[in-house]
Amino acid sequence: MSVPSCERCRDTGFEIATLKAKGDKDFEVAKMCECRRRETAQSGNALPGVLRIPPRYAHCTLETFEVLEGGSRLHREAYSKVFRYCGEYRRRADSKHINDKGLGLLLTGLNGTGKTHLAVAALRELAVQHGVRGQFWDFHELLREIKNCYNATTAMTEYELFEPIIDLEVMLLDDLGAWKMTDWMKDTLFYVINKRYLANRPTLITTNYPDRDVVARDVLTTDRALASEYLVDRIGAKLRSRLLEACAVIRLDGPDRRQMACQASNQKLVSMDGS
């Protein structure tokens, strides 16, 4: 019997580790061993460029996500759920329960509540800790790219056209519903999401629109405003139903962090001018 080159994982690539989220209890997860992490880092799989993470979000990790002091319960729970989701990724992928396989995340909330930060942090964490192959795609950019690549004269099948994104182990789709969707957009997005769902490949999705079904959508209020439109209004009932089947919904609330940062910056400039 050969002697394993790594005593920590015995060449399996994974080890059992105890993780603790901010304000959460300890729990055990299967975590990528340091020997595999070095290989992953050397191959560039965890680099923002490979993951297509825009420079504006290059700093987004679980460590840099700020749970505001005195923040709401929903906000603290959102961080803990994403943290646990990442830690249990490999165990969930290996689970015998079909409902565990390919489960994605649908992060909803108003502007500036930290949805994209958490989604990008999850994508990076899965790449670093579990070696997954994933990419960041802006919702409108993705549909524009698909439309630009389509050429009826090539007689490409739908699968051939969408294969690169369908085959990604993890896909991050940011700002779903930011644009009014045509029937073609709805059909295209349903095709991609459904193919990934059937193949047990998780999709991480962010949207500014709160989730409510058609009957209950008029009764939801937020801490900042009454929503005039809901996710179902932007993407349709068929696609919403598939997303709820393929993703765990995580809602964020609280103040707009971008506005807070802008105000802090302006105050700093005023202070400098007065000095």
User: Is the predicted pLDDT of residue 256 greater than 90, yes or no?
Assistant: no
What is the sign of the dihedral through the CA atoms of 160, 166, 169 and 175?
A: positive
Least confident of 13-22, 59-68, 80-89, 105-114: 13-22
275 pLDDT band, cuts 50/70/90, is: low
What is the sign of the dihedral through the CA atoms of 138, 90, 17 and 13?
A: negative
Average model confidence (pLDDT) for the chain?
Answer: 76
User: Is the predicted pLDDT of residue 128 greater than 70, yes or no?
Assistant: yes
pLDDT digits (tens, 9 = 90+) for 5-31: 677 666 555 565 555 555 555 545 455
How deeply is 31 buried, as exposed, middle or buried, from its count of CB atoms within 10 A (0-12, 13-18, 19+)? Answer: buried
Position with higher pLDDT, 196 vs 154: 196
Q: Would you state the pLDDT for residue 221? A: 44
The pTM of this model reads: 0.74
Q: Would you state the pLDDT for residue 45? A: 43
244 to 109, 195, 229, 238, 254: CA distances (angstroms)? 16, 15, 18, 10, 23
Of 190, 151, 193, 158, which Cα lies nearest the Cα of 172?
193
Q: Would you state the pLDDT for residue 159? A: 61
What domains can be seen in the chain, in order of their start residue?
14-274 (3.40.50.300)
